[in-house]
Amino acid sequence: MQTRPLGDTGHDSTVMTFGAIALNWLEQEGANQLVEHVLDYGVNHFDVAPEYGDAELKLGPKLRQHREEIFLGCKTQERTYEGAWRKLERSLNRLGVDAIDLYQVHGLEYDEELDAITGDDGALAAFREAKEQGLIDHIGLTSHGDPGLILDALDRVDDLESLMFPLNPVVAGKDDDEYDYEAVLARADEKNVGTLGIKAFAGGSWPPTDELPESDRPFANWYRPVTAPDEVRERFDFAAAQGLTSVVSAGDPKLVTMILEAAADYDGMDEAAQRSLIERVRHDDSPVPEQLHH
Amino acid sequence: MDVPQTVTVALDDRPVAGRRCLEAGAGAGNATAGLLANGAARVYAVTNDRDHARTTRRRVGRDDGDGSDGDDGVDESDGDRLAVLEADLRAVPLPDDSVGVITAHGLCNVLDPASLSAVAEEFSRVASPGAQLVVDDYDPLPDGAAIGGLFAVENAASELARGRPALTFYPAAFLRRFFAGHGWEFERERTLLEPVPWTESHVSAHGDRAVSMAKEHPGEPCDALAATARRLATDIGSESVGRMYGLAFRFPE
Ligand SMILES: NC(=O)c1ccc[n+]([C@@H]2O[C@H](COP(=O)([O-])OP(=O)(O)OC[C@H]3O[C@@H](n4cnc5c(N)ncnc54)[C@H](OP(=O)(O)O)[C@@H]3O)[C@@H](O)[C@H]2O)c1
Ligand SMILES: C[S@@+](CC[C@H](N)C(=O)[O-])C[C@H]1O[C@@H](n2cnc3c(N)ncnc32)[C@H](O)[C@@H]1O
């Protein structure tokens, strides 16, 4: 599988990152098998978080067995110094490892949170101490929030080495600033900060729960994912072709093999085909019913 | 509104800023939005279809100018830059030598050869020296494209009902020579989409059009065409096939 430099970290990440949230939906034995399966494809970057149910615990055994082959990303939603230290120690315990390669501020959403993490008593102070102590190697940030906020974070946090944010053809087809994750990608590239793409496989939202109760959804994703192999492949190719360092696999284990196959076969996507995909999904939720032209 | 990538790419190497533009065949307002986003001094968006004129005002007028919703039927409610004109492109209601950019985005395929010739005459008349012409359209579909069957039925219904085809896919090389013959210097060709995504909404809209034209001409062959159009539209669902190209020309000084 292709690898790309993750910003200035010195690590070359595979073009697919394994979203270990998928392990949460499996028993331990199945989780072990899935990790072996992912490693068989050569994937070398894993992403997990304490919020993903049991995923940290279920990743633990195989992570420890293959520690050298895996660049491990983990996260915390804590915004304070104390909270971040506590969560980091908890994650190290649950994962059963001495150090985390990439520790990320998880799910930044509001300006006040950016103020909080960068303050004297903020989470980043804990991150930096942990880095000095060798408990983490690199600092990152994740957000599905406002691109403007992510850009601010990029400006204000000097030692940020990676960003994780949404990128897919639906988002790429929208011009408003609130969807301008392409600007985030461009600025991150300028600053040589690594970029990890999420929501690459999002097809749309689920129907309202009175039409389809949550317990009847056929996939464990927050959104309705694309599920046909060709569509999964196109979505992967699109995200990888935008120039992200790596594309994070979707949260449902049923989709993982299709994504691995797409990632293993990835060899670029030409621009006319990228536009074709943007146009197709734009029409899928077009406000104009009888739009005859592209 | 979001400017489609096809329009963005078709215009991104063209000098639009500060120019007066003719958007020939306003349709959904996509190219109109692109011209305005690129800083056109003024856009005359011309269509002979009242619904399309309304759609263009509603979708594009809303984002431009003074924030009025543009749906009040007054042509120039959108600040100073957009005028939606309901008129026939075979007799463009603009003076000679009056525009610096002409866009025909997805227009030629809805013009039969006779109309295409008449429209091209008008483009040459209204273009000022140094004007740009942007022609974006579809190559003929490859053999075996399922949607080709639906377009064939649509054309058959149109021939019976109106005596001309509904759709003609002119090859890029054909339009290139054709506009050269009308005095335009060819500048470049781009691939805008490959494959072309004929989505469910496109397919069902074409199916519906075939059915409604078939109904204009009562009788057995047209009943059969309508039924075939319905069946094909359902069977096809959606299909990604073919190529959309973008040509650019310049009118000599
Ligand atoms: N607190 C939890 O228990 C928790 C959290 C996330 C996901 N999940 C579960 O994991 C499943 C798979 O997630 P997925 O398919 O959405 O994502 P995915 O792309 O398949 O990957 C999982 C990502 O979903 C994101 N996510 C979490 N909350 C979200 C929200 N409210 N809106 C949008 N995205 C959100 C998470 O990102 P971030 O980690 O950056 O938030 C996570 O990385 C979901 O069905 C959900 O049940 C549970
Ligand atoms: C498919 S649409 C073009 C899409 C449009 N350019 C856009 O960017 O959204 C074709 C348009 O050309 C118009 N048209 C076709 N023949 C015409 C004619 N002879 N005179 C004026 N408008 C015409 C149709 O009514 C329709 O609005």
* pLDDT tens-digit map of B5-18: 999 999 999 999 99
- Given a cut of 50, is residue B217 above it in pLDDT? yes
Q: Residue A291 and residue A288: Cα distance in Å, rounded?
A: 6
- Per-residue pLDDT band for B66 (boundaries 50, 70, 90) equals very low
Strand segments, DSSP code E, in A2-90 are 3-5, 12-14, 16-19, 45-47, 71-76
> Which residues in chain B are closer than 8 Å to A293, comparing Cβ atoms?
27-28, 30, 105-106
Q: Is residue A291 part of a domain?
A: no
- Per-residue pLDDT band for B79 (boundaries 50, 70, 90) equals low
Q: Is residue A45 part of a domain?
A: yes
Q: Residue A180 and residue A168: Cα distance in Å, rounded?
A: 11
Beta bridge partners of A18: A46
| pLDDT number for residue B71 | 43
The ligand 1 atom nearest the CA atom of A201: 19
Q: Which residue in the set A278, A284, A293 is minimally distant from B28, CB to CB?
A: A293
> Which residues in chain A are closer than 8 Å to B192, comparing Cβ atoms?
272, 275, 294
Q: What ipTM did this prediction achieve?
A: 0.77
Closest CA to B45 of B101, B7, B5: B101
Buried b (16+ CB within 10 A) or exposed e, A40-67: ebebbbbbbbbebebbbbbbbebbeeee
- The alpha carbon of A203 and the centre of ligand 1 are apart by a number of angstroms equal to 15
Average pLDDT over residues A118-147: 97
Is the Cβ–Cβ distance between B125 and B249 less than 8 Å? no
For B83, other C-beta atoms within 10 Å of its C-beta total 15
| pLDDT number for residue A291 | 52
Residue nearest to atom 8 of ligand 1 (CA): A52
**pLDDT digits 0-9 by tens, A200-254:** 999 988 999 999 999 999 999 989 999 999 999 999 999 999 999 999 999 999 9
- Which domain CATH number covers A70? 3.20.20.100
Using the 8-state DSSP alphabet, how is residue B141 labeled?
A: P
Average pLDDT, chain B: 92
**pLDDT digits 0-9 by tens, B147-162:** 999 999 999 999 999 9
Is the Cβ–Cβ distance between B249 and B186 less than 8 Å? yes
Q: Does A272 touch chain B (CB under 8 A)?
A: yes
| pLDDT number for residue B67 | 40
Q: Is residue A260 part of a domain?
A: yes
Residue B240, both tokens: 């990604």
- The alpha carbon of B88 and the centre of ligand 2 are apart by a number of angstroms equal to 10
Question: Is the Cβ atom of A198 under 6 angstroms away from ligand 1?
Answer: yes
The listed CATH number (3.40.50.150, 3.30.930.10, 3.10.450.350, 1.10.10.10) that belongs to domain B5-140+165-195+242-250:
3.40.50.150
Q: Does A293 touch chain B (CB under 8 A)?
A: yes
Interface contact B202-A291, CB threshold 8 A: yes
Check whether the bond before B165 is cis (ω within 30° of 0): no
Q: Which residue in the set B106, B192, B202 is minimally distant from A283, CB to CB?
A: B202
Using the 8-state DSSP alphabet, how is residue A162 labeled?
A: E
| pLDDT number for residue A152 | 98
- Per-residue pLDDT band for B76 (boundaries 50, 70, 90) equals very low
- Given a cut of 50, is residue B68 above it in pLDDT? no
Backbone angles phi, psi at B228, to 5 degrees: -65, -40
Residue B12, both tokens: 């991104």
Using the 8-state DSSP alphabet, how is residue B164 labeled?
A: S
Q: Residue A126 and residue A132: Cα distance in Å, rounded?
A: 10
Query: From residue B183, how far is each of B16, B101, B187, B246 by CA, in Å?
Result: 20, 15, 13, 18
Is the Cβ–Cβ distance between B190 and B10 less than 8 Å? yes
Q: Which residue has the higher pLDDT, A168 or B65?
A: A168
Q: How many domains does chain A contain in total? A: 1
| pLDDT number for residue B98 | 98
| pLDDT number for residue B65 | 45
| pLDDT number for residue A285 | 62
Distant-in-sequence contacts of B59-68, Cβ < 8 A, 24+ apart:
B59/A287, B59/A288, B59/B1, B59/B28, B59/B29, B59/B33, B60/B1, B60/B29, B60/B32, B60/B33, B60/B36, B62/B1, B63/B1, B63/B33, B63/B36, B64/B36
**pLDDT digits 0-9 by tens, B87-96:** 999 999 999 9
Query: From residue A289, how far is each of A166, A171, B200, B203, B236 by CA, in Å?
Result: 27, 20, 10, 12, 18
Q: Give me the residue spans of the domains in chain B.
A: 5-140+165-195+242-250
| pLDDT number for residue B75 | 42
Residue nearest to atom 11 of ligand 2 (CA): B25
Average pLDDT over residues A118-140: 98
Query: Chain A closest CA to B71's CA: distance in Å?
Result: 15
Average pLDDT, chain A: 95
Pocket test for ligand 2, best of A279, A293, A294 (most atoms within 8 A of CB): A293
Q: Residue B40 and residue B80: Cα distance in Å, rounded?
A: 11
- Given a cut of 60, is residue A282 above it in pLDDT? yes
- Per-residue pLDDT band for A53 (boundaries 50, 70, 90) equals very high
Residue nearest to atom 13 of ligand 1 (CA): A221
The string of DSSP codes covering B65-78 is TT---S-SS-TT-S
Domain assignment of residue A32, given as a range: 3-285
- Given a cut of 50, is residue A157 above it in pLDDT? yes
Q: Is residue A290 part of a domain?
A: no
Question: Is the Cβ atom of B11 under 6 angstroms away from ligand 2?
Answer: no
**pLDDT digits 0-9 by tens, A65-98:** 999 999 999 999 999 999 999 999 999 999 999 9
